[in-house]
Amino acid sequence: MILNKYITKLFYKKPILCSFILLVSCGKANKNSNINSISESKEISTSNKNNNLKWELPELSQEEKENLISSVKTVFNDFYVNRLQKITDYNYDALKEANKLNIEMSSDELLKKTMSIFINIRDLHTDFEYPLPARCIIGGFPLNVDLSYDSNGKNEKLIISEKLTDKPDFEDEDDNLNYNDLQLNDEILSISNFGIEAFTPNEILVKNAINELGKYTRGSNIDAFKTRAIESFFSRNGAYMKTPEGRFTINVRKSDNSIKKYSFPWVIKKSDLDICDSSKNKKINFKNKSYFFKLKKSNKQEKFSSFYKLSKNKSNENISMKIVEHDNEKYGIIRLEMFIPSGEYDENNYLAVRQKIHEEVNMIRKFVLENNEILSGIIFDVRNNGGGYGSYPLLIANMFTHKFVKNMKVFPLVSQTNSDTFYNLEMSRFFAREETSDELPKPILDTYAEMIYFINNELTKELVKKRELLLKPADRFDGDENDSLPPNYSKKETEILKPIYTEKPIAVLTNSNCYSSCDDFTALFKDYKIARIFGETRHTGGGGANLIEWKDFLIPVVIDDIGTKSPLIPDGKPLPKGSEIRFAWNKVKRENNSKDEQYIEGIGVISDYINKPTSYDILNDDESIFNKIMDDMGNSKNPKKFYLNR
């Protein structure tokens, strides 16, 4: 047997993709976020009146250290699918570093070394959250900032884009007066005591501050690196880094070009996570649970701004749609906050979730159908959309083309532990759906069988041992029924997939905070030649994988017909004191033949055209950016080459 008959090389230096001999499809399987503050009645305060809040890492017992080390090593030895790409991209081997963790390390050293591994791979789908009490601390200041540019996309500035309160109540009245003196569009030039552990408290230029903070915020490409840092400039989540303390100073350029210096206190808040509530009589807060589920599913963190009612999170609705008149033509603008349905529902009931997804997609269909004749084009705004369910973008994309926009293909790392996990996953899936309205005829064990073949094959054993073997991209189940379309869906027979708007221009407006399923959405519209991609940045966020949380792998599931229960990961260990790990499990392959854009991870989706925001755009709902796109859509010569007759 010739090995090359079964393996294909990836574009990186090392990884190898393998296909099974009889491979069969296994049926796979912000502008501003609408995830609002969950507590409308809580007191909003800019002061540090709760002085007992302090970011600190706990002491771990011997057993807790062993469990943490075992879990991290298992993730990077047996599951993490992007390791070889990260070696190529950043010259960093997470497996090698994970294997250096040892029981002799102090608790502080072990926890910080673990965090550094997850930070250095720059993968938002793969993260570690510190244990309590650090995880319960949110630090920051009630300002949001953005990068603005001149009309030529030059002259980058960091400006104040939002003040989170109009009634500051700092303990020092001078701080209240100074806060009120700050104005939107003020340019921040420098900052001292930036609040990064072991980093200089001295004054540094904003550019240097962004570069330093970006090292901790895990943006996978040059644009995401910067965008993530800006998002965290005045908002630090203690689950990922030490929160700032004391006072900071900023130099600000005012509208009259004068420069003023301000000093303010860093403010500390307590996370709204249920595990951070130490009250003895606490009750399960289902609204709270839903809020944090949506944060996780859309790859977002609890932000400092969530504690302020004036934050621009204007609506709990996931979709907003409007018709705009421009140069005597009408255009539809559809804003998608995330690919997770609005409202409250049982996130563990995949059929209930599917129904909610369909309801929202049908809202879009209804809007398009009712206005089909009058709309000269449609713009989808997915900036800062952190993602969600993978089927959501597929359903939307299908209504704008006669082609069948199919499930995106994914592929995992080959290891014995991963094969056992896929076996348990598929068996539990089969038994969970028995005697329901959505039964499976039999367990779908294709992925498991592929792995076993290569684990036992003499020609591939060494590659498996080195963790350098990946399966061939295929339509695989990833643990979430709503990350793909059901196998019985078809373009001809499934009403929600039928095309309804295929002859007029479509544009997608995005940026480097468009992540995960939002990356998928943008990739689908580009790869299937549905829309032209307009970006505030050149890259989207670059998160191209299905992910899983460690705690989900530890839940016992039924794996045979006599009711035997097993966690998905054999012998998985619990993480200490409320810490958490999640990781990229199956890598996404795009539907194109591009040499540079085969995969989403890292590079993201490259914009066809770039419109960097001016300060006017930032402060006026991006009016000029939308006008430029509508100008292009209305040009009869079609200079931007929109795809028509799809």
What confidence tens digit (pLDDT) does each residue in 489-539 have? 999 999 999 999 999 999 999 999 999 999 999 999 999 999 999 999 999
pLDDT at residue 295, rounded to an integer: 66
Average of pLDDT values for 211-217? 96
Above 60 in pLDDT, residue 12? no
Per-residue pLDDT tens over the stretch 321-332: 999 999 999 999
The domain spans of the chain are: 138-269, 317-409+486-548+594-634
Q: Supply the mean pLDDT for the chain.
A: 89
Confidence of residue 41 (pLDDT cuts 50, 70, 90): very low
CATH architecture entry for 317-409+486-548+594-634: Alpha-Beta Complex (3.90)
Confidence of residue 211 (pLDDT cuts 50, 70, 90): very high
pLDDT at residue 42, rounded to an integer: 41
Q: Which helix (H) or strand (E) holds 247?
A: strand 247-253
pLDDT at residue 347, rounded to an integer: 87
Strand order, beta sheet including 375-381: 319-326, 329-336, 375-381, 506-510, 532-535, 609-610
Q: What percent of the chain has pLDDT over 70?
A: 88
Half-sphere exposure of 626 (CA within 13 A, CB side): 27
Half-sphere exposure of 131 (CA within 13 A, CB side): 19
Q: Is CATH 2.30.42.10 what the domain over 138-269 is classified as, yes or no?
A: yes
539: DSSP letter = B
- Amino acid identity, residue 285? N
Least confident of 46-50, 120-124, 326-330, 548-552: 46-50
Q: What is the pTM of this model?
A: 0.91
Any idea what the Cα angle at residue 63 is, between residues 57 and 64, rounded to 5°? 30
243, burial (CB in 10 Å: exposed 0-12, middle 13-18, buried 19+): buried
182: DSSP letter = -
More confident residue, 311 or 1: 311
Average of pLDDT values for 467-494? 93
Q: What is the DSSP string of 293-342?
A: HHHHHTT----GGGG-TTSS---S-SEEEEEEEETTEEEEEEEE--BS-S
- Please name every residue paired with 187 in a beta bridge, in sequence order, or none if there are none: 159, 253
pLDDT at residue 300, rounded to an integer: 73
Average of pLDDT values for 276-303? 66
Q: Which of 496, 182, 485, 479 is nearest to 359 (CA)?
A: 496
497: DSSP letter = G
Average of pLDDT values for 566-591? 93
pLDDT at residue 279, rounded to an integer: 65
Q: Which two tokens stand for residue 282?
A: 């606490």
